[in-house]
């Protein structure tokens, strides 16, 4: 059976008090709306349509490439939003299952979505609705079952969902709540949506009214009670954004630990959903790993490090380092306090030490930049040592220029390499040199003012 999904995301999100649409606020580097979309993809849903308002160009752009878009002209309710989705080219004639989730509920999992789809197929239901029990159900739609008012623990088929504002005392006492996530039979949903009205306390078109209509049509409605209430958590405020982030952090870190990664303080480690960690990686406190970062076996990351879109090989040590789009091959080390900018590539066993900034440069195998250096637009060979305080002067105020340093070169401390410049293999550069001319292989280059000594100068001067 084909499977489609609708992600409702046309809400205003006023409680965020933000210029930005609510569903574009991020947790762990991923916008809220992209979390359910990722869960749907993981569950194997073929066709995802996101419902946005007409002015939500930023949301439409964020989801483009992963989902289609439906425009809901006015926010007339969840039923109207679903109708807008069902009217798109993608869903107009669609036959099969349609999952409905919310763009502001990032914690929904692929497993839960899968269980909704499987339950509908198994029971040939018009709808399967995901429900949860709440001690305080106030605010949620209540699940009314056939035996809701006759049994202490009702388990009958669902006959209706009643919204808080439309609930009488008996409805309000029901503790089983509507999560807002469903799996519908597409044709049955289309039929029901054509008939829902806004004749209710809020004057809205309720998607929840589709339930009673399906029942009138003789279709079965199944409630699937979730064991994991967190899955249904919705974000309406920045406080809830932080709560959702914390839950996601726990899920992600737990999964890594279960797969063989050590974190002794997982509450102080933030790892994005697309990061991959090999076995026996250890992550120390205050580490943030984001984007497509990958870490190889036995590497030690942290404390106090932030890696984004960075690839780290096996057996590396990364201490108090910020890295963006950088690469460390096996056995490389960075920090404490290194800054590896885009295109920084430490080859096997290479080192970027304390207060070292590297940009768009290859540091050859076993080469070391141990202290206080800036290396930009450079090709550094193997076995090179770059002394403390040395820098590539790669920018002349208008253009960037390249520096090359041959294998085995020894660059004395405080050397300025004024690019473009090429330093040959096994060259030695004297400390404090300003190198402006190419240096041939195996040469010694010294470019600094000669030292002058004036004996007995101090006492004379102080007189
Ligand atoms: C809805 C359900 C309620 C359920 C609750 C769970 C209805 C009528 N009620 O209530 O039974 O317990 O979710 O959280 O469906 N949206 C649109 N367009 C609209 C209105 C809403 O896209 O015109 C989107 C919102 O952005 C949001 C989602 O739909 O992501 C839910 O809307 P919201 O107004 O929060 O529904 P509730 O009143 O909370
Ligand atoms: Ca809500």
Q: What is the pLDDT of residues 218-273, one digit of tens each?
A: 999 999 999 899 999 999 999 999 999 999 999 999 999 999 999 999 999 999 99
pLDDT in the model for residue 164: 97
DSSP per residue, 220-286: -EEEEE-S-GGGG----SHHHHHHHHHHHHHHHHHHHHHTT-B-S-GGGEEE-TT-EE-TT-EE-SS
Residue 429 has pLDDT above 80, yes or no: yes
Task: Kindly state if the Cβ of 8 falls inside 6 Å of ligand 1.
Answer: yes
pLDDT in the model for residue 402: 98
- Spell out a b/e string for 187-218, using b for 16 or more CB atoms within 10 Å of the CB, else e: ebbbbbbeebeeebeeebbbbbbbbbbbbeee
Pocket test for ligand 1, best of 11, 49, 203 (most atoms within 8 A of CB): 11
Residue 143 has pLDDT above 80, yes or no: yes
> Band of the pLDDT at 1, cuts 50, 70, 90?
confident
Pairing of strands 444-445, 428-429: parallel
Residues 29-55: tens digit of each pLDDT: 999 999 999 999 999 998 999 999 999
Separation of 196 CA from ligand 2 center, angstroms? 20
Q: Can you name the residues that pair with 351 across neighbouring β-strands?
A: 333, 368
Residue 153 has pLDDT above 90, yes or no: no
Task: Kindly state if the Cβ of 439 falls inside 6 Å of ligand 1.
Answer: no
Task: Kindly state if the Cβ of 165 falls inside 6 Å of ligand 1.
Answer: no
Chain centroid, CA 285 distance in Å = 19
- Contact in structure between 322 and 303 (CB atoms under 8 Å): no
Separation of 348 CA from ligand 2 center, angstroms? 51
Residues 87-134: tens digit of each pLDDT: 999 999 999 999 999 999 999 999 999 999 999 999 999 999 999 999
> Band of the pLDDT at 152, cuts 50, 70, 90?
confident
Separation of 137 CA from ligand 2 center, angstroms? 13
pLDDT in the model for residue 181: 98
Q: Cα separation of 269 and 263, whole Å?
A: 8
Task: Kindly state if the Cβ of 206 falls inside 6 Å of ligand 1.
Answer: yes
Residue 12 has pLDDT above 80, yes or no: no
Separation of 108 CA from ligand 2 center, angstroms? 14
Residue 13 has pLDDT above 90, yes or no: no
Domains present along the chain, CATH in parentheses = 3-232 (3.90.550.10), 254-445 (2.160.10.10)
Q: Which residues are catalytic?
A: 371
Residues 339-363: tens digit of each pLDDT: 999 999 999 999 999 999 999 999 9
Task: Kindly state if the Cβ of 178 falls inside 6 Å of ligand 1.
Answer: yes
Q: Cα separation of 164 and 140, whole Å?
A: 6
* Phi–psi pair at 449, nearest 5 degrees: -65, 140
- Mean of all residue pLDDT scores within the chain: 97
Ligand nearest to the CA of 138: 1
How many other CB atoms sit within 10 Å of the CB of residue 462? Answer: 6
């Amino acid at each position: 059976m084909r499977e489609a999904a609708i992600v409702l995301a046309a809400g205003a999100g006023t409680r965020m008090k933000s210029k930005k649409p609510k569903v574009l606020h991020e947790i762990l580097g991923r916008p809220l709306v992209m979390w359910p979309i990722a869960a749907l993809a993981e569950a194997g849903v073929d066709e995802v349509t996101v419902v946005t308002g007409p002015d939500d160009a930023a949301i439409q752009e964020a989801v483009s490439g992963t989902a289609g878009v439906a425009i809901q002209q006015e926010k007339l309710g969840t039923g109207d939003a679903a109708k807008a989705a069902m009217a798109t080219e993608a869903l107009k004639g669609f036959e099969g299952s349609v999952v409905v989730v919310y763009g502001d509920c990032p914690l929904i999992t692929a497993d839960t979505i899968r269980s909704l789809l499987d339950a509908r197929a198994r029971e040939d239901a018009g709808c399967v609705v995901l429900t949860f029990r709440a001690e305080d159900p106030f605010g949620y739609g209540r699940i009314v079952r056939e035996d809701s008012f006759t049994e202490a623990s009702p388990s009958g088929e669902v006959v209706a969902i009643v919204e808080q504002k439309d609930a009488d005392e008996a409805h309000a006492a029901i503790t089983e709540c509507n999560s807002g996530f469903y799996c519908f039979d597409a044709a049955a949903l289309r039929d029901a949506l054509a008939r829902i009205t806004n004749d209710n306390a809020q004057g809205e078109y309720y998607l929840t009214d589709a339930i009673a209509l399906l029942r009138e049509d003789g279709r079965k409605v199944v409630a699937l009670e979730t064991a994991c209430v967190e899955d249904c958590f919705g974000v309406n405020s920045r406080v809830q954004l932080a709560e959702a982030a914390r839950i996601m952090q726990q899920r992600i870190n737990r999964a890594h630990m279960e797969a063989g990664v050590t974190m002794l303080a997982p509450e102080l480690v933030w790892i994005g959903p697309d990061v991959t960690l090999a076995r026996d990686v250890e992550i120390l406190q205050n580490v943030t790993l984001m984007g497509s970062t990958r870490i190889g076996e036995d590497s030690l990351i942290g404390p106090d490090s932030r890696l984004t879109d960075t690839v780290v090989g096996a057996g590396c040590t990364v201490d108090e380092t910020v890295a963006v789009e950088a690469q460390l091959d096996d056995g490389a080390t960075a920090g404490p306090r290194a800054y590896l900018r885009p295109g920084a590539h430490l080859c096997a066993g290479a080192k970027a030490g304390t207060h070292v900034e590297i940009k768009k440069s290859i540091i050859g195998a076993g080469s070391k930049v141990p202290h206080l250096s800036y290396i930009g637009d450079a090709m550094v060979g193997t076995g090179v040592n770059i002394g403390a305080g040395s820098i590539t002067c790669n920018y002349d105020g208008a253009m960037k220029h390249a520096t090359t340093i041959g294998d085995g070169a020894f660059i004395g401390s405080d050397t300025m390499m004024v690019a473009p410049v090429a330093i040959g293999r096994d060259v030695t550069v004297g400390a404090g040199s300003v190198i402006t001319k190419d240096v041939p292989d195996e040469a010694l280059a010294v470019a600094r003012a000669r030292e002058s000594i004036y004996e007995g100068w101090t006492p004379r001067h102080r007189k």
